[in-house]
Structure formats: C-alpha cells, structure tokens
Amino acid sequence: MQQGDDGALRVGDAEREATIAALRDAVGDGRVTLDEFADRAGATYAATTVADLRAVVADLGRPDRPAPASTGLAAAPAAPPRSQRVVAVMGGAERKGRWTVGAELSAVAVMGGVELDLYDAALTTEVTTIRAFALMGAVEILVPEGVPVQVEGFVLMGALENRTGPHRDQRPMLRVVGHGMWGAVEVRHRKAREKAARQADRTPTPRLEQPVAAGDTFTLLFTDIVGSTVLAERLGDQRWSELLREHNTLVRDEISRHGGDEVKNQGDGFMVAFRSARRALLAAIGIQRALEDHRRSHPEHPLHVRIGVHSGEVVADDGDLHGRNVVLASRISDLAGPDEVLASALTKQLADAGGDLCFGAGRHVPLKGLSGEWLVHPLEWSAS
C-alpha cells in the first residue's frame, strides 16, 4: 500500500499479512501485548478496505517500516533468558501481568499448582514453547482468544486439554508440550477460568447493608485464591466445593470479627468494605493467619490467597460499590503475591497512626488500565 492510496480501496490477503507481520514485530519488541495482538489480528482479518487496515496499526507505524519512537506505548522489556522455569512444590506459583517470555519456558507442578497468565505477556519469538510437567498437581495456561495454540504430550491418569478451540495458522503461536502423572495440564481462555471459579461456589452473594452517602470513604479489601482453577481441576467438583466452603467460612469469620461488610463473593475471592483502614488491615492479617493454620492441618490441599487494600471515596448503587477507587483496590490485589497483603500508600498513611502495624518497603507499580505508577506497601504479618 502506498501513502497516497485511497482509504476506500479494498484489500487482499497480501495486505492483511503485511499488517499481521507488523503486529508480530510489535509483540516481539514489547509494544503490543499478546491480548492486544489477538484483538488487532481479528480486526485485520475482518478488514475490507485500506482505511480499516490503517486503523489497526495507526499507533504502530506502517506495516513495512518500524514504528516511530513517539508511539507512547511501553518500551520493550529487557530480553529474558532463552529458557525460563516456574516451579511449584506443595504450593502455588504463578506469572502474570506484564512479563517477558523467552523462546522456551518450563512449568513444573508437584502436588501444587502453576498458573501462567499470558494476557499481558511480551513474547520474544514467533513460536513460544512451554514444557509443562504435572505430578499430582496442575499447570494452567491462560491465553487470549484468537492466539493459536498447539498442544501435544501425554498425561497418565490425568488430563491434557486444549480448551482454546481452533485458530487460524499464524504467528505468534504457543506450543505446549505436556507430560505428567495423576495431574493436569490445561490451556484455556481467562473467561472460561473465571466462569469455572464462579460456578464453584453458589453461596448467595450478600449486598452492602450499611447506608452510603455521596462522598463516603471506605477501605476496600479484595481477596483472591491463587491458582483456584488449578485446584478445582485437580480436586474435582465435589472436593473443590468443600474446600471453597471452608475458605469462605474462614474469610467471613474474619470479616465479621473486624466489622467489615461483604459486598461481593466473586467465586474465588471477596470484595469487602470497611469504615476503618486499620480494621481492614487487621482483617487481612486474620485471613492470612487463618489460612496458614488451615494449610498446616490440610497440607494435601494448601490454600494460598492474595489480598489488596485501598481507601477512597466510592459510588453506591443497589447495595454494590463502584468507582475508580474500587478499580484501584482490585488492581492492587492482582499484583499481590501468594500469602501477601498489599496496601496502597493512602491506606498505609491512614493506618499508621495506630502504631501496631508494620509495612515493608514501598514500591512503585503500574496498574492495568490506570495511568502512571502507584506506590504500594506490603503489610508484614506472621503466623499466630
């Protein structure tokens, strides 16, 4: 296509493939995530005119030349080693958010679970190979819709599944080689994962009962079970439902003890509102300690939870809470590690006056969908 082409001209396969090549290069240098690539590739194959294709790569430069430096997109991450490894032994391990994947990655789960979320990952090669091994454990790989996945291998007395469906033969492509015994290796879309988590617990969701006036400030606490779908896959529906009920009871006991208000039960986690930042953080510590005790008494099915806490004004609607601060709290929870309580700088400031809570060194982090970087602090806690 020439610069002076009329945008109304129809395009053929050659023009579409040139655009896909530009998108593939953008994935390789970190300007486009795998999730964005899937969306843009779909728009490319649906395009009928030159103008349609130009819109797909408008912020990346023309398909036949490098994108300009002023695109405003994130710079390419540092190149990872060619081979990477994620290991979970009687516990959970995960990689998610913005991370860079080399040509090969090994995931090993032994009586535990590994979760690899590739939605915001930057791939450095056209074909990425993930070698997954599950021994009485599970490896779950989440990919955006539209990304081609090839699955091969063998799991004895377990499961090796590709639930992403058929895709167009294109690059980048994910190749999964799965092996194991009494375990599971599964590739699926995140939407399917979230649906499975919601279906695992059919407990009626309570609504916010306390009255909320315009401009009211709450401290919001989000919890999330690490590798919930991996556990559900390994345990089966009945045992998973029992374990989830045990988790829910432990969490609700701490919410009630510290004066919190359960807003939502989201299948594998909770959204809770507190009038006090300090009480919210004490509840978070109580939840982590209760789960630590549960892991000691049930080492065969360890439950690990991440917790995010943030304070701010909210908007109330029909017993639910909305607004930018709700999104912030949820995003902070997404960044917390297994067994970690991560609090925003504002929540830390509000709770510091009590003098009985300790925080680790703060770190500046990006939050998905929000501009700039945000300061967060890990809350220090120990088993009771």
Alpha helices in 271-344 (DSSP H): 277-297, 324-335
CA distance 256 to 193: 29
Cα–Cα distance for residue pair 179/161, rounded to 1 Å: 11
Question: Which ranges in 190-236 belong to alpha helices (H)?
Answer: 190-200, 228-235
Residue-wise pLDDT for 272-326, tens only, equals: 999 899 999 999 999 999 999 999 888 887 889 999 999 998 887 766 788 888 8
| Residues 141-190 pLDDT 10s | 988 877 788 899 988 877 788 877 666 666 678 899 998 888 788 888 76
Distances (CA, A) of 327 to 225, 260, 313: 18, 19, 12
Compute the chain's Rg from CA coordinates: 23
CB 224, CB 333: distance < 8 Å:
yes
* Domain chopping of the chain, boundaries: 1-74, 83-188, 194-378
Q: Report residue 143 CA to chain centroid gap.
A: 11
Please tell me the predicted confidence (pLDDT) of residue 53.
Answer: 80
pTM: 0.52
My answer on whether omega of the bond before 172 falls inside 30° of 0, hence cis, is yes
Token readout for 358 is 């300790």
Which pLDDT value is given to residue 361?
Answer: 92
Contact between 287 and 230 (Cβ < 8 Å)? no
Q: What pLDDT, on a 0 to 100 scale, did the predictor assign at position 213?
A: 55
Determine the pLDDT at residue 6.
Answer: 63
- Residues 297, 335, 35, CA angle at the centre, nearest 5°? 120
CA distance 148 to 186: 15
The residue type found at 167 is H
Q: What is the pLDDT of residue 346?
A: 92
Question: Which pLDDT value is given to residue 58?
Answer: 81
Q: 194-378, superfamily in CATH?
A: Nucleotide cyclase, GGDEF domain (3.30.70.1230)
Q: In a 3-state reduction of DSSP, which class is residue 170?
A: coil
Spatial distance between the Cα atoms of 140 and 149, rounded to a whole number of angstroms = 13
Calpha distance 172→354 (Å, rounded): 52
pLDDT of residue 289: 93
Cα–Cα distances in angstroms (integers) from residue 347 to residues 1, 72, 199, in the given order: 54, 31, 32
Which stretches of 136-181 are assigned E, i.e. beta strand? 138-142, 149-156, 159-162, 173-181
C-beta separation of 281 from 343 below 8 A: yes
Do the Cβ atoms of 358 and 352 come closer than 8 Å?
no
C-alpha distances in Å from residue 94, one per residue of 71, 115, 277: 31, 5, 29
Could you give the CA distance from residue 111 to residue 135 in angstroms, rounded to a whole number? 6
Tell me the three state secondary structure of residue 40.
helix
Interatomic CA distance for residues 156 and 180, integer angstroms? 6
Long-range contacts of 83-88 (CB under 8 A, 24+ apart): 86/114, 86/116, 87/114, 88/112, 88/113, 88/114, 88/137, 88/227
For the chain, residues with pLDDT lower than 70 are 1-7, 28-30, 34-35, 38-39, 42, 45-46, 61-83, 91, 165-171, 190-215, 318-319, 384
DSSP 8-state symbol, 78: P
3-state secondary structure at position 69: coil
> What local confidence, expressed as pLDDT, does residue 159 receive?
78
